[in-house]
């Protein structure tokens, strides 16, 4: 008899985000869902994952979920309690494998907006801003985004404000702008699917669909056409152990995942 595992959409997002991260790699991580996914990866398949926080922590062992990237809990058993200058310098020097961020808007080339919705001078909504996201997006080797609510308002033809560069306007654009060769967006995780980027065009491409999601749902929830490959996988489904760790060890209060 197979027992059905009940998980929330945020838990599905976090588990799929965690699976992207590899053991022995370095990840520069943002607050919220990216941080939660990174902690799950470190507690499961990637115990030697080197976590980098904007507040200056290098290589901590994450016991419980911090409220921000400068929370004192980000320094627990860290190999260094350094500074923002030092961690940004590491990123610029090419030592960071993954940048892991959230976003309010994204276009087909993986450019993201976390600054304003609408006109910059008189915005409809003022968002948290870049923080270190521009540096992370500019200098990390591979970028991972979690966007919890994919829709035509979040997957847009053109972002209202370019906070963090993806592939800019297509192939070769990052390099022409002076960014490291071969770097750029790698994975995008939403409530509908996991995406990669087409090697030739640098446009968003479906990698896997979450259980019960159709291709038409994905396309109807985007302001631009998403590339559909011949083979599309089913996304990773959380295990009972994943959920136990998330609910009991990482976020028992439901600060990020909710109750």
11 a catalytic residue: no
Evaluate whether residue 256 is within a structural domain. Answer: no
Decide: 91 and 135 in contact? Cβ < 8 Å.
yes
Assign 4 a pLDDT band (cuts: 50, 70, 90).
confident
Q: Residue 192 is part of which domain span?
A: 9-244
Q: pLDDT tens across 87-126, in order?
A: 999 888 999 999 999 999 999 999 999 999 999 988 899 9
Q: pLDDT tens across 119-168, in order?
A: 998 889 998 888 889 999 999 999 999 999 999 999 999 999 999 999 99
CATH code of residue 138? 3.40.1080.10
Partners of residue 81 on adjacent β-strands = 57
Q: What does the pLDDT read at residue 128?
A: 86
What is the value of pTM for the model shown? Answer: 0.94
Evaluate whether residue 147 is within a structural domain. Answer: yes
- Report the DSSP pairing between strands 50-52 and 26-29: parallel
Q: Per the residue annotation, which of 4, 22, 54, 121 is the catalytic one?
A: 54
Q: What are phi and psi of 34, to 5 degrees?
A: -60, -40
Count of domains in the chain?
Answer: 1
Cα–Cα nearest to 190, from 217, 165, 160, 168: 217
Q: Where are the beta strands (DSSP E) in the chain?
A: 26-29, 50-52, 57-58, 80-81, 98-102, 105-106, 112-113, 116-118, 123-126, 142-146, 184-189, 193-197, 204-209, 233-234
């Amino acid at each position: 008899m197979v027992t059905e595992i009940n998980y929330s959409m945020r838990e599905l997002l976090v588990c799929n985000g965690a699976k992207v991260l590899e053991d022995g790699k370095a990840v520069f991580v943002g607050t919220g869902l990216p941080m939660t996914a990174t902690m799950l990866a470190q507690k499961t398949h990637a115990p030697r994952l080197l976590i980098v926080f904007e507040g200056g922590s290098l290589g901590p062992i994450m016991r419980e979920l911090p409220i921000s990237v400068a929370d004192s809990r980000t320094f627990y058993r860290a190999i260094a309690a350094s500074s923002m200058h030092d961690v940004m310098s590491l990123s610029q020097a090419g030592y960071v494998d993954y940048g892991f961020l959230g976003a309010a808007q994204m276009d087909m080339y993986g450019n993201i907006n976390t600054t304003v919705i609408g006109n910059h001078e008189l915005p409809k909504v003022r968002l948290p801003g870049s923080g270190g996201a521009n540096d992370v997006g500019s200098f990390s080797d591979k970028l991972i985004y979690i966007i919890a609510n994919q829709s035509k308002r979040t997957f847009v033809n053109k972002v209202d404000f370019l906070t963090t560069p993806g592939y800019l306007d297509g192939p070769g654009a990052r390099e022409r702008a002076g960014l490291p060769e071969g770097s750029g967006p790698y994975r995008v995780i939403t409530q509908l699917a996991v995406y990669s980027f087409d090697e030739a065009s640098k446009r968003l491409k479906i990698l896997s669909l979450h259980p019960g999601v159709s291709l038409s749902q994905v396309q109807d929830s985007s302001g631009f056409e998403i590339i559909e490959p011949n083979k599309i996988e089913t996304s990773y489904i959380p295990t009972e152990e994943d959920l136990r760790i998330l609910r009991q060890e990482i976020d028992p209060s439901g600060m990020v995942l909710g109750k």
